[in-house]
Each structure stands twice: as C-alpha cells, then as structure tokens.
Amino acid sequence: MAADKIPASEPKSAAAETLEIVKTVVLALLIALALRVILFQPNTIPSSSMEPNLLTGDYMLVSKFDYGWSRHSVPLSPPLPAGRLNGHLPQRGDVIVFRLPRDITQTYVKRLIGLPGDRIQVSGGQVSVNGRPIPQAADGRTRDPDSPEITVTRVWETQPDGRRYLTFDRGPDHDGDDTPEFIVPEGHVFAMGDNRDNSLDSRWAPMVGGVGFVPQDNLIGRARMVLVSWRAGASLFRPWTWVTRFDAGRMFRPVR
C-alpha cells in the first residue's frame, strides 16, 4: 500500500519571520536585563583612585545580591520609591560600587571604611575607626602604574576580621593625611580610595568635588572580580589595541 503523503507546511511569510526574530531579541534583552538588575553588573574602572587593587582599564564584575536592591540597581536609576529590597549592610573593607551622591549619573568604586554611627579620622595617613587605628605594614616601594614617574609605598591594611588589602602612600603631608573626625550619619557609609593620596572620596565634601557620605540607597553592589583588563592606550576605535594592550595577567582576578 502506498505511503500516505505528508502535506508540506506552508512557508512563513516575511512578516511572520520578522516577528519571530523580534520576539527572540526582546526575550534575550529582557533576560539580560533581569540578570543585570538581580545578579551581576559589569563596570569599567576609569581612574587610578583604587590602585593597586583596581587599575584603569579593568573590566570588573559587580554582584547585586550582597546588599539588596534599590532604584540604583536598575540602569538609569529610574524614580522608584526610596529604600532597599532585602537590604544588607556592607562590611568594613568591602570594595563598593555606588552612584555618586552629587551626580547619580556617575558610578564610583571605593573601599568602605565606616558604617552608620562610626567615627572616622585620618592622622598621619593612618585611618582610625571608633578610636582604633587600622593596623598598617609597609611592603616596599613601587612605581604608580598610571604615573610611573611617581614612586609610592605599598602599605598593607588589616581589618579587625583579618581581611588584608594593599594601599598606596605617596608620603607624608598630603591632602587627606590628617582630617577632622567624621561621624557617619544613619543610613550612610564612609568610603575611601586605596590610592590614598590620589582619591577624592568621603574625606572631601561634595561642594569641593569630593564624595562625602554615601547614602546606602546609592549602593549598586560589591566589586567581586576583574574579568578582563586593557592597559593605557587601548581604544574602541583602534581595534589592534584590543590585542596589543590586553593585560592577560589580570583576567579573573578576585577583588580583595
């Protein structure tokens, strides 16, 4: 007996195929946006204020779930209600990513030094929290990666929980080496750059170009890892520099 003929399916119209492509692209964009809002966000490092731990040209991964979510967790910071969903306080020593209080279009990255109610003071370049100096240990001299004509001292700082990280010190008597005592207001944190003598941070008020106290609502997340990095001279408009200026040694480096 002859096999039954299977009717051929009718070809889709160009409009139907275009609609399917649009649906696929929109779904992919929605999934990417959800992942970016809820889990992780990539950020680039545009300045040297977090040397030696983060360098200009680093492309880092920021986790969103460490501190919960606010309107600043969403791209372009839409005018959503204030407050954080499932919010958690960061820990002293975390490298935080946040919207700059005086200009929320700018994203900054600094190290968290003080929590609400903490008393912060810098004396002779050493940071004290609630009257207790953060222990420091010098670890030799090196050249500043972005300014090789400048020699800096590598200094280890150790938080009470045992976490250690390197900072840069250009020497005594720099601006910010000696400050009044700051009392961190409720709902805010105090942050400083690891490149201590080359960072406008919470030691300076917003009206003089500093950061001031950072509202907890402005936190985007915690810097976790350097994914890839390009040295100075790389440019989007010069494709050959994507290879020649690529720094493979910084791939997948945890942020301490």
Question: Any idea which residues carry the catalytic annotation?
Answer: 49, 110
C-alpha 221, offset from chain centre: 7
93 near 165, Cβ under 8 Å?
yes
DSSP-derived letter for residue 69 is: B
Q: How far is Cα 85 from Cα 104, in angstroms, rounded to an integer?
A: 19
What lies within 8 Å, CB to CB, of 214 at 6+ separation is 96, 98, 101, 188, 189, 190, 191, 202
Q: How far is Cα 197 from Cα 152, in angstroms, rounded to an integer?
A: 10
Strand partners, 209: none
Residues in the chain: 256
Q: How far is Cα 124 from Cα 117, in angstroms, rounded to an integer?
A: 23
Q: How far is Cα 138 from Cα 134, in angstroms, rounded to an integer?
A: 13
User: Residue 97: which of 146, 48, 41 has the closest Cα?
Assistant: 41
The helix (run of H) or strand (run of E) holding residue 42 is strand 40-44
Instruction: Return the amino acid letter for 55.
Output: L
The stretches of the chain forming alpha helices (DSSP H) are 14-38, 241-244
What value, to the nearest 5°, has the Cα angle with vertex 229 and ends 228 and 233? 150
